[in-house]
Amino acid sequence: MTRAAPDPRKTLDPDRVAQWLACHPDFFVGREGLLQQLKVPHPEARGATSLLERLVHDLRSRAEQAEWRLEQLLESARHNEGQYRRTRELVLALLEAEDNDALGQALATQLAERFHTPAVALWCPASLTDAEPRPPQAPRQVLDDHAGQRLAALLDGRASRCTRLTPTDWKRLLPHVPAPDKAGSCALSRLTLGEPLGYLVLASPDPDHFRASMDTLFTEYVGEVVARLLVRLAPASP
């Protein structure tokens, strides 16, 4: 009486088979016909497909993912290049300013045209403007106790921050720009150069333009450049 061959699925441990194949990657060399007979689950439909078709499908999927990642990298590179060029033009325009009023005007113009920031205020203490022959022109403002306290409260102990800006705060902190009917948003940065020099306010009537989750590295960088130029361009005290 002939005994039936045992079912390999019941006599072979799948993990041991996998381990053995991993140790013998040349097993299918000369056994290409066996590869064509193997069936594996189809990744997108019910049923099975050949191992070769599955490998082709997986390779195509990996190629598509790699292409998508490459496109993301290229898009990021294009964005960074554009940001660099806009920042470069902004800094060059600030360096060409002949006095602090021209500096404020260049700052507001460049931010509006290149960074879609419609409102800017540059708050500086009276000690920085006392020697000037006339009061500062917008977007420059003379920092008083009330504005200083409100700006410090909005910063909440930080050097820079993005936050919502109520219509009341807008009227107080950007008095030269009409306030929106509803809350907008702003990016604030404290100006310092060995000592406090005031505050830089970038604002938008769009409440989502400056979100709390946004990085403030750009605002801090612009503030550092502006602080140095304010001191350099300030008229000498008599």
Please write the tens of the pLDDT for every residue from 158-172: 999 999 999 999 999
Position 79, amino acid: H
Cis peptide before 139 (omega within 30 of 0): yes
Please give the full DSSP string across 49-80, using - where no structure is assigned: EEHHHHHHHHHHHHHHHHHHHHHHHHHHHHHH
Question: How far, in Å, CA of 227 to CA of 222, rounded?
Answer: 9
Bridge partners of residue 48, in order along the sequence:
41
**What's the CA gap between 235 and 230, in Å, rounded?**
10
Model pLDDT, residue 79: 85
Task: Give the chain's residues under pLDDT 50.
Answer: none
Q: What is the pLDDT at residue 169?
A: 97
Where are the chain's structural domains? 71-233
What pLDDT, on the 0 to 100 scale, is given for residue 48?
A: 63
H or E stretch covering 89: helix 51-95
Looking at CATH, the fold of the domain delimited by 71-233 is given as Beta-Lactamase (3.30.450)
